[in-house]
Structure 1
């Protein structure tokens, strides 16, 4: 039995549970009109601030909009944030870390100084500063995350490449006359990518938290769009009399983040990264 099969038998629960949670949110994101019981943007002035009940399981907001429907509809934007805010940094950071780790030299020295500059400041503060300059909106948020976030992927990839470039199979590939592009992308990258992919799953959870935080501050998704951070911001002034406006979107953030984190942990065990 292979090591992967053994790892799968040892840790099926976290990966299966995380995949199930993520799948639920993916279904809600892809087809919210099939899952949501009401139009998330429809006003109902006859049902203002109704508590959770049979007609509205998550209650309604100050405009009579169904919180369950808005929470489901918000999964579309938040999963887009999880994907689009991480794919760019993943691709850019992987390529840069691969090249810097393999060639070293002056490029590695410049990269080290750049990493020092970025990690000196808190990640969220840098993103907020960039978005504040560019203006609120999802596109500018993606740009801000891409400008900063690729450094962490590159640093992780560089560390893996520094270890792998001295292995015998890399030396053998050089002796056989393989091109450097083939050595990098056919031999080193597949072996170095596993911890990066695991980190990507965890980073998706962090991206959802980031998107919700910026939405709450008014720098991410803009009303009337349904986004979990925007929903929480809508309910902050009514928390004492209508706690459900804030609490249920908050639960959605927690559950989705747990789902991606469990998938990342399960992948780490399955790919034997931790061991």
Structure 2
């Protein structure tokens, strides 16, 4: 697959010397959905703005569709779409007027009605922007990003303000775009969103990439959990030597990097000893645990 986004040792330093992006490198293949995750201040938005050509990098190299997005913006702008965190539309215009005005500035724009229907605003065309809910304004932002049938789509927190139904409808639309060949770069605070949508992801912390890969690869770096309660008369010391057990009250938890083997041996031990493991819960690590683990590790090493 051809890489349509290439980032090498990318840096962005603001006035005063603050380095928001401190040597980031990654690539995104054609038709791939790549998610950038990170806590507030991790450098996500600063990185995306450099990819969108809104500012020149302080160092390093970035290419989108083979072009420098800042110096060759005219070559790539008609081929990309961007959904910013806030669109800044005129509050007095209606939804249809806003889309029509934007379409007039867009090369080979979709029909206005099609763009509104794609994001679920077909029935709100006559409503003024100031009367839209926060979630509806995000839908309008997405419609603007999709007007030019982009080859590369930048989505910065696309489902902020949406209810659960709206979020899942947006996920389905993003999947359809990806499946049709659109390359998507997504930033989000919703870890479930990244887990559901992303082909690959990177977790940023303090301007650097702390983890990168497929969701299962990033998650696999974190231990899984087995938790249960022991009956009276059975001590933690009686359990098979599978690792470090932690007992809190009546509950016991085992963290393991070999979930299947540990669970099998624990169950075989319980069968042979005729011990009931009440409330048994066998759970793989999650993206949330990987995310928090990276953030906490970085805090400890400061």
Q: Which has the higher strand share?
A: 2
TM-score category (smaller protein): under 0.3
**TM-score (norm: length of structure 2):** 0.24
**TM-score (norm: length of structure 1):** 0.26
Q: Which has the larger radius of gyration?
A: 2
Q: Which has the higher helix share?
A: 1
Q: Which has the higher contact order (CA 8 A, sep 6+)?
A: 1
